[in-house]
């Protein structure tokens, strides 16, 4: 990411904090077991403002004061030949300052020592508290140290703001760089789903199909999965967070794959549900057609000025009508929606914000009012039907679980759908036939 994008985002934060100070650390490294770490993933807020990929880093913004201009400061790991031999390259403060467009950079070891000086005589502090107790303690120690200087006339910040609230509002509207990156992520995720459709055969294990997707993600340069992939054959598709992916895929079943890659920190989040043997059975067609019609209605409901709930409401009408047509529910559509009778078969929301986090930052509601869609917002559209065996569910339908999920940018014209993986019955059967 060029630092013009991150500098522009930092400028917006400078405009907000006035003479205040903003402090934001990246994520700590996470142990997996004994001395073995999870692959490192930076904090999304920190990444949004810095594009700096290393652990043990803190960004500080000092707002302009008097004739002193604002200053963006990075604390990061020093160069260390020994550690670089074992663990890999570190920028070090000097190179990082230039490469990431900071006004100053210091070794991370100096952060706690410099903190009281940085906090002194700043009217307000913008920070994220209540997330990491260790971080909270460091900030409190810094504030206490400033308070001890009060007799020499140094003032401690009077106001503490949650920096996440500001950043959530910014992250909700994607800039041009984010839009381009998310398109790239989605294109790779699309290719992964197509590869899985082509590779799928009865008798294959769910994990083998997962491997096809992972292969495509990594060989096309994605960082990996943005979230644990779901590869759910048959009834497993009715377990919403099924991630064990360890059963066999049987002839005559559907398989639901919910998988998306991460590219430069940005997530794709795509679901396709297709027949293991390449042909939808008549009951599978019936249910699939309902979910697809609901998804189309939801996407059509996306436009600037519409409510975040408009796609959900549109999908619900179609799904509920479908459940009546399938004779799984009886009654008026409005009544069944009002009583939430559909929830037995459709128990989740139709979408969520998408970005650096798969369930991305951004408010869904202000008070009682749902957020209004504006250009630059990015959300998933993912209706489904999950027909668990049970009372009133005929054997032909029992065990069918279908979700169809696309990633959509709100544009001036309406929905700009990133996802291109085959979606209609004809498209999917065609892709599976020619392979």
List of residues contacting ligand GLY (CB under 6 A): 227, 258, 269, 352, 358, 382, 405
407 binds Mn ion (CB under 5 A): no
Give the nearer residue to ligand GLY in terms of CB position, either 97 or 271.
271
Catalytic residue at 288? Answer: no
Among 32, 34, 151, 241, the active-site one is 241
164 binds, among ligand GLY, Mn ion, none (CB under 5 to 8 A by kind): none
227 binds, among Mn ion, ligand GLY, none (CB under 5 to 8 A by kind): ligand GLY
Catalytic residue at 382? Answer: yes
Catalytic residue at 269? Answer: yes
Strands (E), 203-349: 224-225, 230-233, 254-259, 261-263, 266-267, 270-275
Cα(183)–Cα(263) distance, integer angstroms: 10
Task: Tell me the closest approach of the beta carbon of residue 356 to Mn ion, in angstroms.
Answer: 14
Catalytic residue at 357? Answer: no
Task: Tell me the closest approach of the beta carbon of residue 381 to Mn ion, in angstroms.
Answer: 9
Q: Which residues of 92-126 are buried (b: 16+ CB within 10 A; e: fewer)?
A: bbeebbeebbbeebbebeebeeebbebbbbbbbbb
Answer for which of 206, 212, 269, 407 binds Mn ion (CB under 5 A) is 269
Catalytic residue at 359? Answer: yes
Catalytic residue at 338? Answer: no
Cα(76)–Cα(91) distance, integer angstroms: 8
Quick one: which of 144, 130, 131 has its CA closest to 44? Answer: 131
Among 83, 338, 359, 363, the active-site one is 359
Among 122, 184, 193, 352, the active-site one is 352
Among 34, 35, 67, 151, the active-site one is 35
For tokens 């994520």, what's the residue? 27
Q: Say which residues have a Cβ less than 8 Å from residue 339's Cβ, sequence separation at least 6.
A: none
Task: Tell me the closest approach of the beta carbon of residue 285 to ligand GLY, in angstroms.
Answer: 24
Interacting residues with Mn ion between 201 and 260 (CB under 5 A): 258
Q: Which residues of 45-67 are buried (b: 16+ CB within 10 A; e: fewer)?
A: bbbbbbbbbbbbbbbbbbbebee
Q: Which residues of 254-265 are buried (b: 16+ CB within 10 A; e: fewer)?
A: bbbbbbbbbbbb
- Of the candidate spans 178-186, 262-270, 276-284, 411-419, the one that interacts with Mn ion by CB under 5 A turns out to be 262-270
357 binds Mn ion (CB under 5 A): no
Which active-site residues does the annotation give?
A: 35, 241, 258, 269, 348, 352, 359, 382, 386, 403, 405
């Amino acid at each position: 990411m060029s630092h013009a994008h991150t500098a522009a985002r930092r400028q917006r934060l400078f405009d907000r904090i006035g003479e205040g100070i903003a402090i934001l650390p990246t994520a700590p490294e996470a142990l997996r077991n004994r001395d073995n770490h999870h692959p490192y993933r930076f904090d999304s807020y920190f990444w949004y403002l810095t594009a700096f990929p290393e652990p043990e880093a803190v960004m500080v913004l000092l707002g302009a004061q008097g004739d002193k201009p604002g200053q963006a400061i990075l604390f990061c790991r020093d160069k260390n030949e020994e550690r670089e031999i074992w663990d890999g390259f570190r920028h070090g403060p000097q190179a990082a300052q230039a490469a990431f467009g900071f006004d100053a950079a210091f070794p991370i070891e100096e952060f706690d020592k410099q903190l009281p000086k940085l906090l002194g005589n700043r009217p307000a502090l913008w920070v994220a508290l209540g997330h990491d107790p260790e971080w909270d303690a460091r900030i409190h120690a810094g504030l206490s140290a400033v308070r001890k200087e009060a007799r020499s006339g140094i003032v401690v910040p009077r106001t503490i703001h949650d920096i996440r609230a500001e950043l959530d509002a910014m992250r909700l509207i994607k800039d041009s760089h984010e839009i381009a990156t998310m398109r790239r992520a989605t294109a790779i995720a699309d290719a992964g789903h197509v590869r899985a459709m082509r590779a799928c055969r009865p008798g294959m294990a769910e994990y083998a199909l997962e491997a096809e997707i992972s292969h495509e993600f990594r060989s096309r340069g994605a960082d990996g999965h943005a979230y644990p992939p779901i590869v759910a054959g048959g009834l497993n598709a009715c377990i919403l967070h099924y991630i064990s992916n360890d059963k066999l895929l049987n002839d005559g079943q559907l398989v639901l794959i919910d998988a998306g890659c991460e590219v430069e920190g940005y997530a794709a989040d795509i679901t396709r549900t297709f027949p293991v043997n390449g042909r939808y059975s008549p009951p599978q067609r019936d249910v699939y057609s309902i979910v697809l019609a609901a998804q189309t209605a939801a996407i059509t409901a996306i436009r600037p000025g519409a409510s975040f709930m408009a796609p959900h409401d549109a999908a619900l009408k179609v799904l509920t009508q479908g459940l009546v047509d399938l004779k799984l529910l009886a009654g008026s559509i409005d009544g069944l929606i009002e009583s939430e009778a559909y929830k037995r078969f459709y128990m989740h929301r139709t979408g969520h914000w998408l970005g650096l986090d798969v369930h991305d930052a951004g408010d869904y509601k202000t008070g009682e009012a749902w957020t209004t869609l504006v250009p630059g917002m990015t959300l998933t559209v993912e209706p489904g039907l999950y027909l668990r065996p049970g009372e009133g569910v005929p054997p032909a339908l029992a065990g069918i679980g279908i979700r169809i999920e696309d990633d959509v940018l709100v544009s001036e014209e309406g929905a700009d759908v990133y996802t291109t993986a085959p979606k209609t019955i004809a498209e999917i059967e065609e892709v599976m036939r020619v392979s």
